[in-house]
Amino acid sequence: MGRSKRSTNPDNYNENGTIKKGRLTWRYSNKYKKLRQKRKELYRKVAVRRKMSHEKIANDILSLGSDIRVETMRFQSLQKRAKNTTRNHTNGKINQKKRFGKSIANRAPAMLLTIIDRKLNYEGRSIKKIDTFATKG
């Protein structure tokens, strides 16, 4: 899809391959449009499967009990890249700066918590969030 987009819009790219700044008009080939629609459908199916599995997992969790306590956690911070470059102390290789962006997107832990909270609200209950900084001290 990227090659198709580049070949149909050569004016929108710099010599080094980056996209030019400013307002650009994009033209798409029919093949590109079909592939984009196919990709959109695949992402939709993955999202539906993820939601269905989360609903089942929430039912399994709620069958064990209704007093659910969860650490307060910002999942968005797990997606961010590391700021500092570090080295592995055993072999001296540079550690990757990449973190858990794709796995957080695939697993959607915040979505699971909202589903559990929604199902608990039917019983008049809610998830108890535990502040880790307050309990640490």
**Over the stretch 44-60, which tens digit does the pLDDT of each residue have?**
999 999 999 999 999 99
Q: What percent of the chain has pLDDT over 90?
A: 61
Retrieve residue 60's tokens. Answer: 């399994």
CA within 13 Å, CB half, 70: 17
Q: Indicate the angle between helix axes 109-121 and 30-64, nearest 10 degrees.
A: 50
Instruction: Label residue 137 by pLDDT band (50, 70, 90).
Output: low
Instruction: Label residue 16 by pLDDT band (50, 70, 90).
Output: very high
Is residue 117 within 8 Å of residue 126, measured between CB atoms? Answer: yes
Of 25, 34, 23, 26, residue with least CA distance to 1:
34
- pLDDT score, position 38: 98
CA gap 31, 92 in Å, rounded: 47
Domain ranges of the chain: 2-14+26-82+100-136
